[in-house]
Amino acid sequence: MSLEPESGSPVPPQLSGGKRVSSDVSSVALNQRLYAGAEARTNSGASAPAAAGLADYSQLSDTEVMLRAQAGDDAAFDYLVQKFRRPLVSFMYRMARNLAVAEELSQEVFLRVYRSRQSYAAEAKFTTWLYRIATNLALNHIRDTKHERPENSVALDESDEESGLAFELPDPSLTAEQKMLRRERMQAIRKHVEALPERQRMAVIMHKYQSMDYREISKVLKLSESATKSLLFRAYETLREKLKDFI
Lowest mean pLDDT segment, chosen from 2-16, 31-45, 118-132, 204-218? 2-16
Q: What's the average model confidence in pLDDT over 139-158?
A: 58
Instruction: Enumerate residues 6+ apart whose C-beta is below 8 A from 222.
Output: 132
| Neighbour count for residue 129 (Cβ, 10 Å) | 20
Are 90 and 209 in contact, with CB atoms under 8 Å apart? yes
- Domains of the chain (ranges; CATH) run 25-144 (1.10.1740.10), 176-242 (1.10.10.10)
> Which tens digit of pLDDT belongs to each residue from 85-111?
999 998 998 888 888 999 999 999 999
Would you say the pTM of this structure is higher than 0.85? Answer: no
The predicted model gives 157-172 an average pLDDT of 42
Q: Does residue 81 carry a pLDDT above 90? A: yes
Asked whether the predicted pLDDT for residue 71 surpasses 90, the reply is yes
Q: What is the pLDDT of residue 78?
A: 94
The count of other CB atoms within 10 Å of the CB of residue 23 is 12
For position 242, what pLDDT does the model report?
86
Q: What is the pLDDT of residues 21-40, one digit of tens each?
A: 444 434 444 555 555 554 44
The pLDDT value given to residue 165 = 37
Least confident of 60-69, 101-110, 180-189: 180-189
Count of alpha carbons within 13 angstroms of residue 7, beta-carbon side:
0
Q: Tell whether the model's pLDDT for residue 151 goes beyond 90.
A: no
pLDDT reported for residue 148: 59
The pLDDT tens digits for 113-138 are 999 999 998 887 899 999 999 999 98
Ramachandran area for residue 211 (φ above 0: left; ψ -120 to 50: alpha; else beta) = left
Mean pLDDT over each residue of the chain, to the nearest integer: 74
Nearest to 94 by CA among 155, 182, 147: 155
Report, as an integer, the average pLDDT of 181-196.
Answer: 80
The pLDDT of residue 39? 46
The answer on pLDDT for 12 being more than 70 is no
Q: For the chain, how many helices (H) and strands (E)?
A: 10, 0
Average pLDDT over residues 28-54: 47
